[in-house]
Amino acid sequence: MPHQEQPIARGPVPVPVIIQTDSRDKWSKKIDFLLSVIGFAVDLGNVWRFPYICYQNGGGAFLIPYVLMAVFGGVPLFYMELALGQFHRTGAISIWKHICPIFKGIGFAICVIALYVSFYYNTIIAWALFYFYSSFSSTLPWTSCDNAWNTENCTNYFGKDNVTWTNYSRSPAEEFYTRNVLELHESSGLGNVGVIRWQLMLCLFLIFTIVYFSLWKGVKTSGKVVWVTATLPYVVLFILLIRGATLPGAWRGVVFYLQPKWEKLQETSVWVDAAAQIFFSLGPGFGVLLALSSYNPFTNNCYRDAIVTSLVNCLTSFVSGFVIFTVLGYMAEQRHVSVEDVAKNKGPSLLFITYPEAIANMMGSTFFAIIFFVMMITLGLDSTFGGLEAIITAVMDEYPDVLTHRRELFVLGLVVVCFLGSLSTLTKGGAYVVKLLEEFGVGSSIIAVVFLEATAVSWFYGINRFSNDIKAMLGYTPGLFWKVCWVAISPAFLAYIIISSLLNPSPLTLFDYRFPDWSITVGYIIGISSFMWIPIYMVYKLVWTPGSLKQLSWLTRRIISGTELNNIIFEII
């Protein structure tokens, strides 16, 4: 018997939902699934973004809005996606046949956003691989100012007295990153990005080769790879934490990291940053949780999985702060400046300039550099596995007759597309392209998509129906807290982020380069190019659905009156 079906009441027309499919891949072990989810959720952002956002927004005081946003916003959305994927056992596109067909465009939007992420995120991993290769030397190349790429502004202050640090001073690590790895000085900006850096292209090719052979056979292979890529970062973090705690001045960094500034809680921006951080950290809406949980047994305890993986994610972010700020305290001690002056770097610069600079001046610098960049590569690979698996599962479930027995070829084609789409980020001005895609390719688009997803599930599919689905899997109905969060608090949480980001846009800059107005317009076009599939599919569905204008008018009145849209669509079709 190929599958079992359980009729679920859907208004006037019962629609069968597949709850177990023997032909569908399954995780070999429960731990494979948990490591895959943790590996996706714990990424490079946990290492740099949380520590930076935390100290910028009040240190220890920031933990209050962070925890509140996690409890009432992030974790409920995380739980919702795991439950949806496990119950319907399908990807981000075809799942809407069961939930609310007119919102199927959400699935296409998720796939486009995942593509944009793959265009720039893997380039950051390629930078880490370049550093990893460069670390195999007795003296790290970003230790001194005696290299061909260094300028007269290069200032090396470690082990030296009476060194003057000015606004024009550049550390050896910064010049290695900007002038040797990226070669940004040979690009005038987005209008002239220059030629492709063949060294970075080779690194990216190696990254995508690893990605392909990890994903080509499905969760059977990727579930084994994550045993290394998801666990190794924790070993490295522990080693770096011990080393950082023994450095002179480490305590200054920890105090700066956690010292509460209670007055910051009165600022709206702090709460917006907390909401955005927990959202992008846990990662609902990228289709990954839907895809990974769809390979679970029907009765798997997805509630416990959601709580455990969310806790691991948040604790990892918190511990990463100690790893980063013990080192920043050490650097402040060496420079004879405040920690705030050292911690001004944010984003990937914290990982490619600040931390490598500190490592270069430690005892055993080569060893610590190697394990640090291994950690970065594995953190990045896990998230890439998840992002591409979301696309693979969504498209293969939507077109099973064509792709079921051609997974290897489809994955190869997808990897080639991602590689070609990344070429612009490998140019000498590629860092500007990375910044543009990071800001507009994901940003508000993914938050708007998740807002519609949460609204469609809670209000159109129906919170009672969704709760009954969970009861069918777990044997009990979710409590009142979860229902209130899904219906009201989580959508409000997402709307709050969207409105705040649109009302208070920050200028887009990278180092000393300010992005021109035309590039911002291009960025908005990139953002719209993913979201537009939602209204396009809605129009397509309404136009091509059989029925008269009178029936369409009746449909509209039903929608406005609050009737669940899913019942209406099935009544008409």
Residue 117 known to bind ligand? no
- Say how far apart CA 384 and CA 396 lie, in whole Å: 18
Residue 383 known to bind ligand? yes
Contact by Cβ (8 Å): 140, 134: yes
- Say how far apart CA 391 and CA 556 lie, in whole Å: 33
- Say how far apart CA 394 and CA 388 lie, in whole Å: 10
- Say how far apart CA 385 and CA 38 lie, in whole Å: 12
- Which residue do the tokens 């997808």 mark? 414
Structure tokens at 170: 């550049």
Residues in the chain: 573
Contact by Cβ (8 Å): 386, 288: yes
Residue 281 known to bind ligand? yes
Beta carbons within 8 Å of 566's beta carbon, 6+ residues apart: 10, 11, 99, 100, 101, 460, 461, 462
Give the burial class of 198: count Cβ atoms within 10 A of its Cβ; 0-12 exposed, 13-18 middle, 19 or more buried.
exposed
Contact by Cβ (8 Å): 194, 427: yes
Structure tokens at 162: 């009476």
Residue 46 known to bind ligand? yes
Structure tokens at 51: 């520590």
Residue 313 known to bind ligand? yes
Q: Which among 97, 452, 446, 436 is positioned nearest to 287, based on CA atoms?
A: 446
Q: Which among 394, 480, 467, 536 is positioned nearest to 90, based on CA atoms?
A: 394
Residue 443 known to bind ligand? no
Residue 253 known to bind ligand? no
Residue 379 known to bind ligand? yes
Residue 313 is which amino acid? N
Beta carbons within 8 Å of 73's beta carbon, 6+ residues apart: 275, 278, 279, 485, 489, 490, 493, 494
- DSSP label at residue 189: B
Residue 42 known to bind ligand? yes
Strand partners, 5: 18
Q: Which among 110, 36, 114 is positioned nearest to 382, based on CA atoms?
A: 36
Q: Which among 535, 529, 458 is positioned nearest to 492, based on CA atoms?
A: 458
What DSSP element (H or E) covers 483? helix 480-484
Residue 136 is which amino acid? F
Q: Which among 383, 278, 272 is positioned nearest to 50, based on CA atoms?
A: 278
Strands 3-8 and 509-510, by their bridges, are: unpaired
Longest dimension (CA), the chain: 84
Three-state DSSP class for residue 268: helix
Q: Binding site for Na(+): residue ranges?
A: 39, 41-42, 46, 281, 313, 379, 382-383
Q: Binding site: residue ranges?
A: 39, 41-42, 46, 281, 313, 379, 382-383
